[in-house]
Amino acid sequence: MKFNRYVEHLGVRSQLAARRWARRLMFLAGGVVVGLAAILMAVLADHAQDLFSRVLGYSPYLSLLVTPAGFALAIFLAIRVFPNSQGSGIPQVIAALRAEDRATSDALVSLRTGIGKIIVMTLGLLCGASTGREGPTVQVGGAIMYTIGRWAPYRQSGFLVAGAAAGVAAAFNTPLAGIVFGIEELARSFETRTSGLIIGAVIAAGLTSLAIMGDYSYFGSTSAALPVGRAWIVVPVCAIICGLGGGLFSAILVLFTKGLPGRVGASIKRHPVVFAAVCGLGVALCGVLSGVHIFGTGYNEAKSILHGGTDIHEGYGVLKFAATVLSAISGIPGGIFAPSLAIGAGIASDLRSLFPDIPIGALVLIGMVSYLTGVLQAPITAFVITSEMTNDHAMVIPLMAAALIANGASKAVLSEGLYHSLARFFLIKPPVPQEPVPEGS
């Protein structure tokens, strides 16, 4: 009798061990797939922007036709063909984590939605939208891992957080930022049982990116430093200005997502395609005024400003802000990470006349982390991402201080972080259901 119980006990233990190893392998395999998806999105984004630049090479005024038409097509596809793919995608992931019913989560982070996100995001950049690819990578990563999790007899929330965190890590080549983002912005805390698995997925995605793209810093390495003393006055000044700007951006986006009151709001709701085309025209006008610099993610412009480039139009930060607001409120799929960093760099560059003795690299880094914090209200994520993207350890303390100040300034404009504010709308208004997918065992 004791021997039979012992054999039965060994059998149960071996089954549990097999299930644990199967789960680990699923997280690692999912991380690899997320890494490949992030690379694909990066390549598509780069090619789309290159093609649009070629169009502008004939005449920058072609954007007045191409951009509105592209915006109209993008929002049509996002509404009719790939529902729940609008915007950055991060609010959908947060809403899926909060949803009480599985049907809502299935609709928000389905594989079909993820595929549509890639297609329509690329279309947006192809027509000059001031959007990024990093936010959409979070939704795509979440959709991939969530789909894998459907076939596993485990809670899917861990898979969803892992996919989203891996998406950040692979998109920016910032593994630490991916983990911090998962804690601060998505789950707010890791479950003890899944924390190691989530980190494993981040590592798998990061290694996949490293193997194919090589080791690189998103904005290149910088050696900027902020001298201790009077130079530190730039930290609160820049942080408050950029933090308020980021909060204003978020407040505008939340207002339009909620819906404007009166006839204007009703008209936008009835004619989203026309409204998107009008927003596209506004982006094109900003592009013409800026010398075509405000189109796209803003990665090249931010990198140029950070490293002391002088080819960027004066007032770039304000025009990039306007173009990004118009792109965001249009509802077309696209992220705000990269444009936010570019806006912060542009605003900081415009402040240089007030602080001529401050190294431009230090000033720009403070502007980038401050504006990104103002938008996200996730200060730890903001300064970790910025530090990892530039491999500049000398600026860690100033960036931390700037992030905290900017976070307070942003909360004076909007009390809740952007993504969490937007996530509520996906829970209040049920998302468009997707086609049923086989249940996990």
Q: Which domains does the chain have, with CATH numbers?
A: 10-213 (1.10.3080.10), 230-427 (1.10.3080.10)
Which amino acid would we find at residue 389? M
Element at 15 (helix H, strand E): helix 2-58
* Token pair of 251 as six digits: 């407040």
What are the contacts of 42-47 at 24+ separation with CB within 8 A? 42/133, 42/171, 42/213, 44/118, 44/122, 44/133, 45/121, 45/122, 45/125, 45/133, 45/297
φ/ψ bin of 189: left (φ > 0), alpha (ψ from -120 to 50), beta (otherwise)? beta
Contact at 8 Å (CB) between 255 and 423?
no
Contact at 8 Å (CB) between 331 and 276?
yes
Q: What is the pLDDT, as a whole number, of residue 47?
A: 95
Q: What is the pLDDT, as a whole number, of residue 265?
A: 85
Q: What is the pLDDT, as a whole number, of residue 9?
A: 47
Q: How many CB atoms lie within 10 A of CB 425?
A: 15
Contact at 8 Å (CB) between 322 and 313?
no
CA separation for the pair 225, 148 (Å, rounded): 44
* Token pair of 361 as six digits: 């690299």
Contact at 8 Å (CB) between 170 and 207?
no
CA separation for the pair 169, 152 (Å, rounded): 24
132 — phi, psi (to 5°)?
A: -120, 175
Q: What is the pLDDT, as a whole number, of residue 6?
A: 45
Contact at 8 Å (CB) between 305 and 345?
yes
Contact at 8 Å (CB) between 312 and 293?
yes
Q: What is the pLDDT, as a whole number, of residue 203?
A: 65
Whole-prediction pTM: 0.86
Sign of torsion, CA 294 298 300 306?
positive
Q: What is the pLDDT, as a whole number, of residue 330?
A: 95
Q: At what angle do helices 396-411 and 379-390 cross, to 10 degrees?
A: 140
Q: What is the pLDDT, as a whole number, of residue 404?
A: 92
pLDDT in tens, the chain (441 residues): 544 554 454 444 555 555 666 666 777 777 788 888 888 998 999 999 999 999 999 999 999 999 999 999 999 999 999 988 898 888 998 888 888 778 888 888 888 999 999 999 999 999 999 999 888 998 998 888 888 877 765 556 677 787 777 778 777 777 777 777 777 777 654 454 455 556 666 666 666 766 676 655 565 566 666 767 677 888 899 999 999 999 999 999 999 998 888 888 889 999 999 999 999 999 999 999 888 789 999 888 888 888 776 667 678 899 999 999 999 999 999 999 899 999 999 999 888 888 888 888 888 999 999 999 999 998 888 888 887 777 767 788 888 889 999 999 999 999 888 988 898 888 776 566 655 444 443
Q: What is the pLDDT, as a whole number, of residue 23?
A: 66
Alpha helices in 59-110 (DSSP H): 63-76, 90-98, 102-108
Sign of torsion, CA 379 382 383 385?
positive
Whole-angstrom Cα Rg for the chain = 22
The C-alpha angle 263, 267, 271, rounded to 5 degrees, equals 180
Contact at 8 Å (CB) between 349 and 317?
yes
* Token pair of 29 as six digits: 């395999």
Q: What is the pLDDT, as a whole number, of residue 197?
A: 59
Q: What is the pLDDT, as a whole number, of residue 437?
A: 44
Q: What is the pLDDT, as a whole number, of residue 298?
A: 87
